[in-house]
Amino acid sequence: MNSKTNILNLETSAIIEAIKAGSEKILFQLYEVYRDEFVSWAIRNHQVSIEEAKDVFQESIVGLYKNVKSGKADTLESSVKTYLFGIGKNIIINALKRKGVEEKIMQNLEYQHDNGINDFYNQEHLINLVKRLYRAMGSPCKEILEMYYEKGFDMESVASNIGYKNADVAKKKKYECLKSLEDRINMSRLKDILN
């Protein structure tokens, strides 16, 4: 059975549940089944290039994943395809708006003194900092933290996936990894302030 048959046979709620349970495979199937249709639609309606349209559709899949994880897609009544295309449309429209905002910022630098934008900038900067420090961590810390915080595994599942004897061992290791990451964040933030 190919990807298209698989996906088309699934109810929206089953797709959402599979994503929630951490299935990446279903995200790739959605990408394969709907990519060409989205690309044609985006080129026809928004005059973007093929590469830009693909990039937007990849972002749409990531957006779908994020919305499912945060519970925003729990009450989804439309089909996943309609939802995905909707996310893609929003990304294109926002990108066009942002292009306008960036041009305004370049024209009027006072805009940058807006506290809202500064807060947003600082928050993004901090998240990027954490992301860098997290990526630099070795195995199994990265895997443990990802399973617990991103995939929502309990400590028993983390232990069995990593190959630990029991949940207590996994919990102890998770604590050590987290402490090491948080210490590094504190050090880096201190460096930032000193600089």
Partner 1 sequence: MEESDSIDMYLKGELEPDQLDDFQKRLATDEQLKQKLSIRKLVIAGISQAYADNLKYKLIEFDRSLEPKKRMQFSWKMAAVVTFFVSAGAVLYFSIQKPNPLEFDIAEPGLPNTMGINSDVALNNAMNTFKTGDFHMSGKQFKDLLDSNPVNDTLLYFSGICDFRTSQTESAIKKWIYIDGTSEFSIKANYRLAIAYWLNGDKIKARELLNGIINSNDEMLQTESKAALDAIK
For residue 38, how many other CB atoms are within 10 A of its CB? 21
CB of 85 to partner 1, least distance (A): 16
Three-class SS of residue 166? Answer: coil
Output 6 or 11, the one with its CB closest to partner 1: 6
CB of 176 to partner 1, least distance (A): 11
Q: How far apart are CA 143 and CA 137, in angstroms?
A: 10
Say if CB 168 and CB 178 are below 8 A apart.
no
Please return the burial class of 194, using the count of CB atoms within 10 Å of its CB with bins 0-12, 13-18 and 19+. exposed
The radius of gyration computed from the CA coordinates of the chain, to the nearest angstrom, equals 21
Output 77 or 109, the one with its CB closest to partner 1: 109
Output 8 or 127, the one with its CB closest to partner 1: 127
Q: How far apart are CA 182 and CA 189, in angstroms?
A: 10
Amino acid identity at 131:
K
Output 11 or 176, the one with its CB closest to partner 1: 176
CB of 99 to partner 1, least distance (A): 10
Q: Which residues make up the interface to partner 1 (CB under 8 A)?
A: 24, 27-28, 31-32, 35, 51, 54-55, 58-59, 61-62, 65-66, 69, 91, 95, 98, 101-102, 117, 120-121, 124-136, 138-139, 145-146, 149-150, 175, 178-179, 181-182, 185-186
CB of 62 to partner 1, least distance (A): 5
